Amino acid sequence: MELSFACASRFALALAAGFLVVGCEMLEPQLSPRTYKVNESSDAVLNNAILLNIVRAGYSEPLNFITIAKYTAGDQLTGGAAIGPFNFATLFSKPSTSTYGPASISNQVNNSFDLNTMDTQQFYQGMLQPLDPIALELWFRQGLPRALVFYLLLDSIRLSASDGVYEYKNDPADDRWTDPITGDRELTSDRCQPKFTGNKNQTNYDIDTSLWHGAHGEDCRFQKFRYFVQLAVKYGLRLETITVPGPAAKSAPTAIATPNAVQATTPNAATSPTASTGGPAAAAPASTPTKKTQICYDLAVLRDVEVPSRFLPQFTACGRNTLSTRNEITLGGIGTFRDTQLVMRSGFGIFQYLGRVFATGSDNLTLGSREYDVTTRSDDRLLTLVPNGGPSCFASAWYRSSFYCVPNAGAENTKLIFTILRAIVATNISALLLNSTPTVRVTP
């Protein structure tokens, strides 16, 4: 067979184009499944890291935070071909034979990713700071169970009563009982468990003043925390931020008296003319407005709750954009209390709290009745963590020769906790922290 050199060249180019088409057909279908797989794998890495840190906290060991800074995936297609043998002739030579072949094609996939260990000053400064109280309201607005948000973000509730200041800790192991005669203390007592009186959902905490004052004033602190959370969910407790004019404005109130005020004041940032030059910052003018966060109650929720008429005037309604003018309310057996404070946890403190729940065997802790919570709530347990595996795990971790699993089914609250924790960790990671980091290269 004789071909001109030009014809053979055109044939070779056509074959190369064919290889290009075949290569595209090989690579393009891989893009979608590989992208999905990377998304799925990175999600599993972050969820497993959250679980691992909860288990570490349960053992009172240091936590370790990592983040995926970059993931790079590549494909390389190589091909070769031979054509022939063909005979072709030129004007200056005798017919000759050239051989092209055989044909070959290969595909190579490679992956690499950068991991960051977040042992930095800036990261831990953010993780150790108590969350802003308005974080409660932000998470309420995401449709999460309200009781879950309270349990996860609140460290304690403080209030002033007639006989002093009390702090009720959100610690399932803090249910001690003091014998009024001998003074002996039982660290965790069944006497703290609420006892129903037979009047609907009323318990002894609603009517028994001896539980709240005197010899038992410091007892059953966790059950008292639960009591307040149940009231907060039932009455639609919310948080709102009010902008208050500075003292120079005539309309500014001279004091804030709040029955249920969160003690949080955040002055607005003032622009200093000397700040950019490195000099001392100028003092904010006396009329600089401030923002105060206060507890209020959702009137739409109160419509559906049987509240004695004598209590209604004492509730501060949300949405009025005015500071509360009352400093006390009266509820149940506790009597009159004032200056309620919601003590917020830090991001680091949330891990310690969940670790303590895990370590003390309190992972069967429930959030209470669903009656007044969001209608989407389908889980009552705060933390669902199954040792030694399970049929299907949302997150899993091997630690100290043991396997821990958050099951896919029946752990909806735990999954929501992971959602909140991932957001809290992510908000403390800035682009400046993702530069000089160890890199792991994986090439199959």
Count structural domains, the chain. 2
Alpha helix positions (H), 101-154:
121-128, 134-140, 146-153
Say how far apart CA 111 and CA 441 lie, in whole Å: 7
Say if residue 279's pLDDT is above 50. no
Do 49 and 162 sit in the same domain of this protein?
A: no
Highest mean pLDDT among 153-162, 346-355, 378-387, 399-408: 346-355
| Confidence grade of residue 357 (pLDDT, cut at 50, 70, 90) | very high
Q: Pick the residue with more confidence: 167 or 260?
A: 167
Upper half-sphere CA count for residue 209 (Cβ side, 13 Å): 8
Span 316-329, average pLDDT:
75
User: Is residue 440 situated within a structural domain?
Assistant: no
Say how far apart CA 382 and CA 223 lie, in whole Å: 15
Share of the chain above pLDDT 70, in %: 65
Average model confidence (pLDDT) for the chain? Answer: 75
Tell whether pTM > 0.85: no
| Confidence grade of residue 267 (pLDDT, cut at 50, 70, 90) | very low
Say how far apart CA 205 and CA 221 lie, in whole Å: 12
Do 167 and 104 sit in the same domain of this protein?
A: no
User: Is residue 19 situated within a structural domain?
Assistant: yes
- Of 320, 344, 368, which marks where a domain is finished? 344
DSSP-assigned states of every residue in 346-357: BHHHHHHHHHHH
User: Is residue 148 situated within a structural domain?
Assistant: no
| Confidence grade of residue 242 (pLDDT, cut at 50, 70, 90) | confident
Do 315 and 206 sit in the same domain of this protein?
A: yes
Residue 258 has a CB neighbour count (10 Å cut-off) of 24
- Both tokens of 158, joined, read 């403080």
Counting beta carbons within 10 angstroms of the beta carbon of residue 146, is it exposed (0 to 12), middle (13 to 18) or buried (19 or more)? Answer: buried
Q: Of the ranges 70-84, 300-314, 329-343, which one carries the lowest mean pLDDT score?
A: 70-84
For 98, the domain range is 5-116
Alpha helix positions (H), 243-285:
none
User: Is residue 431 situated within a structural domain?
Assistant: no
Write down how long the chain is. Answer: 444
Do 92 and 237 sit in the same domain of this protein?
A: no
- The answer to whether the beta carbons of residues 228 and 122 sit under 8 Å apart is no
Say how far apart CA 410 and CA 290 lie, in whole Å: 44
Distance of CA 266 to the CA centre of its chain: 23
Give whole-number Cα distances, 282 to 246, 279, 288, in Å: 17, 9, 13
Counting beta carbons within 10 angstroms of the beta carbon of residue 42, is it exposed (0 to 12), middle (13 to 18) or buried (19 or more)? Answer: middle
User: Is residue 443 situated within a structural domain?
Assistant: no
- The answer to whether the beta carbons of residues 69 and 432 sit under 8 Å apart is no
5-57 pLDDT tens trace? 455 555 555 555 555 555 555 445 666 777 777 788 888 888 999 999 999 99
Do 160 and 87 sit in the same domain of this protein?
A: no
- Both tokens of 304, joined, read 């559906």
The helix (H) or strand (E) run that includes residue 52 is helix 5-58
The helix (H) or strand (E) run that includes residue 403 is strand 402-407
